[in-house]
Structure 1
Amino acid sequence: MERTPKLFFLCGKMAAGKSTLARMLAEQGDAILLASDEWLGRLYPVEIVDIPAFMKYSTRLNETLTPHICTLLGRGLSVVLDFPGNTRRQRAWFRQLLDASGVDHELHVIDASDAVCKRQLHARSAGFPEGTRWTTDAEFDAITAYFDPPSPDEGFTIIRHEAGAGGQE
């Protein structure tokens, strides 16, 4: 029986619950999960010190993985990308993958207020060592300033999720 591959990707503010949702989608869809935080953490453990460095190394990672992801999709395997899709530029990479592979897709958008995200960020960061990156309200605010939710003209099939007090983490 031939499988119909699908590309799943996500959009949501920091600590909205994207990684939790990505794991759930991968399990439910019998899909391969690729997570940018894992790749970047292993490839560039000390280089990502600010937002420009994150953009530099995440762009390099995306360019490197593009042919691999297209091969997986071309072989009938669904892929869940736990990569940020929080700006038009980031989502343009997803569009490139779709155009190259011709597969169906779902863009899962987690709608969450800043207060919910900060609460989840604090809970997630509680056990981290002092000075761990991307854990403070100021860092959340700096990163969230770039957040640009998807619009209809981008042409994605959007599935919305509401994050709340008991929402995804």
Structure 2
Amino acid sequence: MSKVYLLCGQVAAGKSTYARTLAERECALILSADELLLKLEDRCQGPAHQREMEERIQAYFLTLILQLQKLGVSCVLDHGNWYADARAQVMRFCADHHIPCEVIWVRCHEQTRKKRLQARNAQLKTKQGRHYLIDEKMMARFDSWFEAPEDVCIVWSDADEA
């Protein structure tokens, strides 16, 4: 039976890296809200618009989950899923459709996140195309929006570095 893996975590916690590992291990499809946003938006348009776009993308992903379920394909929702209500919506949807759902909080230490963010920004500055450059001030703002989940699987992405 297919399953939904709902990742959540702060910026630069290692969610996308973990999503790739998990997708390979479970033969799952990654649904990335960030990748979709980069295709749809030219620039950041503020927190209200960001939240609206995330809600629309999540609604679209829920329709995809049903299609994937019919095909027997698991999926990894690769996004910060910072808000408890957004995570609850996915869990309710999955429960209503009898689809197993596992919430995984990808975490790492703040210093590791800052190092990763600096490395990511340096790499992205050399690439063409659309991408997110996030400085420490933005990271702190995004962190303030994150609502920590309870009673979920926690994966420390920097366990070998601590």
- Is this a same-fold pair by TM over 0.5? yes
Aligned to 2:123: 127
| Matched residue, 2:73 | 77
CA contact (8 A) 2:105 2:155 kept: yes
Q: How many residues align?
A: 157
Change in 2 beyond 3 A, CA 1:94/1:62: same
Q: Which amino acid aligns with 1:161?
A: V
Q: TM-score scaled to structure 2, two decimals?
A: 0.86
Q: How does 1:86-105 map to 2 (within 5 A)?
A: 86-105=82-101
Q: Equivalences for 1:9-158 in 2 at 5 Å?
A: 9-46=6-43, 48-129=44-125, 133-152=132-151, 158=152
Unaligned runs of 5+ in 1: 153-157
The CA distance in 1 between the partners of 2:47 and 2:159, in whole Å, is 28
AA at the equivalent of 1:135: I
- Quick one: percent identity of the two aligned structures? 25
The whole-number CA distance in structure 1 between the counterparts of 2:132 and 2:76 is: 25
How far has the Cα of 1:133 moved from its partner? 4.2
Distance 1:104 1:80 in 2: 12
| Greater per-residue helix proportion | 2
Deviations 1:27-60 (A, max 9, x none): 11011111111111112233x3322221111111
Higher mean Cα deviation, 12-21 or 102-111? 102-111
* RMSD of Structure 2 on Structure 1 (CA): 2.1
Alignment TM-score, normalising by the size of structure 1: 0.82
Evaluate the alpha carbon distance shift between residue 100 and residue 134 of structure 1 in structure 2; reply closer, same or farther with a 3 A threshold. Answer: farther
